[in-house]
Chain A
């Protein structure tokens, strides 16, 4: 019992000491000797901290002074810090409307602050970094208090979350401090909403948290105790509430705890203790005023009234009941006034916010519409481009297809033209041959005719001799006739083979290879070529020389094809010497074309040499190309050498050319023999 009395006395003394209103002399001195504005502000800060829980009006006075100095020095961060503390004081005075206006304006001002412009960032004693996020966290914490006191739970939770968010970027110490306040604040809100389980769970989990800031432990214990009171767990309630009072560092914690602990004692029928705390609460409030409207003078009077009622002291209970009614009337009126002011403001604000929201929504809708239009336009644009591309591609494809068809047609035409040209080359060489062939046929035909005529005469003679009985003479004549008939047959066949050769020459080559007498083939075509050119130009004279190697013998070739090659080379040679003859004025030039055959080890060679003007170096490489010709237009197809090249290649052979200007040209065909 004595212990309890001592403890109670201790509480009482502490309460008086804690809330002593006179400014400590060293604080006043520091402000007085401060040389510059920054020192003054730091001195004022300490004074503000001293007063803010003791004397709101003094605190406000010094705060305004500090704000003015910050303003002069353009110290925006420090100014916001003081303004935020000022807002906290307004909330303590239940001036919700003005507090709300101030806090809202702080949020806007905070947006303008550039951290770099603030030099008074350090708080000399505590070295707390005053930074914009720290200020924002504290602004939102005050807003949370406001919302909690005005029963706006949703907003309360919203601001608590923001405090946690801003705390994240701060120093470990400040973060822990803020988080501790958030936890306690949230738990207190649960308590006021009578969500006791949620509150209890939150507090239990935070109780053993080592990060919990020591400064907020008393507040935490007060809330914890209050929760237990609400749950009618009076022993736990008493434990936490007494702990809160013992360590209480603010009037707010002290008065609330005192009120609650008085309630606990009343409910546990410890009227003396209940009365003691009720009286202490009342004295404290009478001297310092209330820290919040939940525990104000009216509440204290009512508590006294309840105590006396329990003690059955009717006079005193009646007295306090009257006091409570009167005070509560005026306090309630004030509170109602403040609350309605705030409601009006917040209603206006809500309306404004709603408008902003609507505007934002409209804007969003508008933007969505714009975006949609832009997007559609973009899609349309892309679609148009794609469409155009597709159409262009289609068009291009159509053009390409057309061109392809044209090219195919052209190619077909070229192919058929080539076939025709090859044919016409054959026909041209045939044309050149015609005269020669005619001549060649003429000779055997003459023989056939002559031998027939002579034989006819001989038969007549033979008859005469037989009539005369000259059998021997008749027999001799008969022998001659027989010989003539053989000659007729021979020359008939000769003509026949010439015609056949001519026909073969004009036909497309399907000829099989056969063993061919190369020398006679060469001779045959030399004659054909010569007679051909003579038929065209009867004045043309050329010395034809042959040097045939009898060892060449028979070689497996396509005779018509190879004959065509030989003929072509000879014709070219004749053309070359003819040209030189025509262009030379003297008679000294004797055109010579020489045809030579040679047997080599594994091949035979046929060479055609002329003593014409030679092939100029510049065109020597082109002479085997199709359609290349030096003859005037219409006189040569330009396919002769090209075809010859192909034919010799098809025989596995080669065709080479040597030429010296003004001396002549030699073409050498080489054909391998096995």
Chain B
């Protein structure tokens, strides 16, 4: 199962690869990384909707996570990939807006990786 992680922090890749090293080693999860909304869209286009789950940060320079969310949910045919939002701003309004745009989940930073692992397993099951 392919998971696309979108965040402007490059070290997120190293972190995910280590946190999920067992799952990666066992082949349970496959990760791809994009460092902006635009990169994420490019990846989706180039890899034919390979990813079934997108984990996106919201606050990014350029295209924000929410815009990316809207693009994916509006432009991609059913079933659209599962999109989970990850943000430092865990306020109600941000949450509500993400949900309105069709986010499948809403997680706040700092990420509880055990919780994320469970959720990913549930979503991709």
A residues touching B (Cβ–Cβ < 8 Å)?
A: 439, 442-443, 445-447, 449-451, 454, 458, 480, 483-484, 487, 490-491, 527, 530-531, 534, 538-539, 541, 544-546
User: Bound complex: CA of A156 vs CA of B62, how far in Å?
Assistant: 133
Judge whether A454 and B19 touch: CB under 8 Å.
Answer: yes
**With A483-B14, A487-B14 in contact, do A449 and B110 touch (Cβ < 8 Å)?**
yes
**With A442-B88, A538-B93 in contact, do A480 and B59 touch (Cβ < 8 Å)?**
no
Judge whether A446 and B18 touch: CB under 8 Å.
Answer: no
- Taking the nearest CB of chain B, how far is it from the CB of A659, in angstroms? 26
User: Count the A-B residue pairs with Cβ separation under 8 angstroms: how many?
Assistant: 54
User: Bound complex: CA of A538 vs CA of B97, how far in Å?
Assistant: 11
Give the residue of A442, A447, A527, A534 whose beta carbon is less than 8 angstroms from that of B15.
A447
- Taking the nearest CB of chain A, how far is it from the CB of B96, in angstroms? 9
B residues touching A (Cβ–Cβ < 8 Å)?
A: 9, 11, 14-15, 18-19, 59, 61-62, 64, 66, 88-89, 91, 93-94, 97, 109-111, 113
Apart from A450-B111, A541-B66, 4 more pairs, CB < 8 Å: A445-B110, A450-B15, A487-B14, A541-B64
Judge whether A446 and B109 touch: CB under 8 Å.
Answer: yes
- Taking the nearest CB of chain B, how far is it from the CB of A52, in angstroms? 144
Judge whether A446 and B111 touch: CB under 8 Å.
Answer: yes
Judge whether B109 and A538 touch: CB under 8 Å.
Answer: no
Give the residue of B11, B64, B88, B113 whose beta carbon is less than 8 angstroms from that of A487.
B11
User: Bound complex: CA of A213 vs CA of B64, how far in Å?
Assistant: 139
Of all A-B residue pairs in the complex, the 6 with the closest CB atoms, nearest first, are A446-B110, A538-B91, A454-B18, A539-B93, A538-B93, A450-B15
**With A443-B88, A450-B19, A531-B59 in contact, do A491 and B11 touch (Cβ < 8 Å)?**
yes
Judge whether B18 and A480 touch: CB under 8 Å.
Answer: yes
Interface of A, secondary structure class, is helix
Question: In this complex, which of B15, B19, B62 has the most chain A Cβ atoms within 10 angstroms of its Cβ?
Answer: B15
Return 10 A-B CB contacts under 8 Å, by A number. A439-B89, A442-B109, A442-B110, A445-B110, A446-B111, A450-B111, A480-B18, A538-B94, A539-B93, A539-B94
- Taking the nearest CB of chain B, how far is it from the CB of A532, in angstroms? 12
Q: Which residues of A contact B61 (CB under 8 A)?
A: 527, 544, 546
Judge whether A458 and B109 touch: CB under 8 Å.
Answer: no
Give the residue of A454, A480, A534 whose beta carbon is less than 8 angstroms from that of B89.
A534
Closest to A446 in B: B110
Q: Which residues of A contact B97 (CB under 8 A)?
A: 539
Q: Which residues of B contact A484 (CB under 8 A)?
A: 14, 18
Judge whether A534 and B11 touch: CB under 8 Å.
Answer: no
Q: Which residues of A contact B113 (CB under 8 A)?
A: 450
- Taking the nearest CB of chain B, how far is it from the CB of A613, in angstroms? 24
User: Bound complex: CA of A490 vs CA of B19, how far in Å?
Assistant: 19
Judge whether B15 and A538 touch: CB under 8 Å.
Answer: no
User: Bound complex: CA of A303 vs CA of B10, how far in Å?
Assistant: 169
User: Bound complex: CA of A483 vs CA of B89, how far in Å?
Assistant: 29
Q: Which residues of B contact A530 (CB under 8 A)?
A: 59
Q: Which residues of A contact B14 (CB under 8 A)?
A: 483-484, 487
Q: Which residues of B contact A449 (CB under 8 A)?
A: 110
Q: Which residues of A contact B91 (CB under 8 A)?
A: 538
Closest to A461 in B: B21
- Taking the nearest CB of chain B, how far is it from the CB of A169, in angstroms? 119
User: Bound complex: CA of A484 vs CA of B17, how far in Å?
Assistant: 12
Question: In this complex, which of B15, B18, B61, B62 has the most chain A Cβ atoms within 10 angstroms of its Cβ?
Answer: B18
- Taking the nearest CB of chain B, how far is it from the CB of A95, in angstroms? 144
User: Bound complex: CA of A114 vs CA of B74, how far in Å?
Assistant: 132
Q: Which residues of A contact B89 (CB under 8 A)?
A: 439, 534, 538
Closest to A445 in B: B110
Closest to A491 in B: B11
Question: In this complex, which of A445, A450, A480, A491 has the most chain B Cβ atoms within 10 angstroms of its Cβ?
Answer: A450
Q: Which residues of B contact A541 (CB under 8 A)?
A: 64, 66
Judge whether A443 and B9 touch: CB under 8 Å.
Answer: yes
**With A443-B9, A487-B14, A541-B64 in contact, do A450 and B88 touch (Cβ < 8 Å)?**
no
Give the residue of A442, A447, A527 whose beta carbon is less than 8 angstroms from that of B11.
A447
Q: Which residues of A contact B110 (CB under 8 A)?
A: 442, 445-446, 449-450
- Taking the nearest CB of chain A, how far is it from the CB of B92, in angstroms? 8
Q: Which residues of A contact B18 (CB under 8 A)?
A: 451, 454, 458, 480, 484
User: Bound complex: CA of A372 vs CA of B18, how far in Å?
Assistant: 119
User: Bound complex: CA of A333 vs CA of B88, how far in Å?
Assistant: 156
**With A443-B88, A449-B110, A541-B64 in contact, do A534 and B59 touch (Cβ < 8 Å)?**
yes
- Taking the nearest CB of chain B, how far is it from the CB of A631, in angstroms? 23
Q: Which residues of A contact B19 (CB under 8 A)?
A: 450, 454
Closest to A451 in B: B15
- Taking the nearest CB of chain A, how far is it from the CB of B66, in angstroms? 8
Question: In this complex, which of A451, A483, A490 has the most chain B Cβ atoms within 10 angstroms of its Cβ?
Answer: A451
Judge whether A454 and B93 touch: CB under 8 Å.
Answer: no
User: Bound complex: CA of A171 vs CA of B102, how far in Å?
Assistant: 139
- Taking the nearest CB of chain A, how far is it from the CB of B115, in angstroms? 14
User: Bound complex: CA of A65 vs CA of B79, how far in Å?
Assistant: 165
Q: Which residues of A contact B15 (CB under 8 A)?
A: 447, 450-451, 454
Q: Which residues of A contact B111 (CB under 8 A)?
A: 446, 450
Q: Which residues of A contact B109 (CB under 8 A)?
A: 442-443, 446
User: Bound complex: CA of A40 vs CA of B27, how far in Å?
Assistant: 173
Q: Which residues of B contact A443 (CB under 8 A)?
A: 9, 88, 109
User: Bound complex: CA of A439 vs CA of B88, how far in Å?
Assistant: 7
Q: Which residues of A contact B62 (CB under 8 A)?
A: 544-545
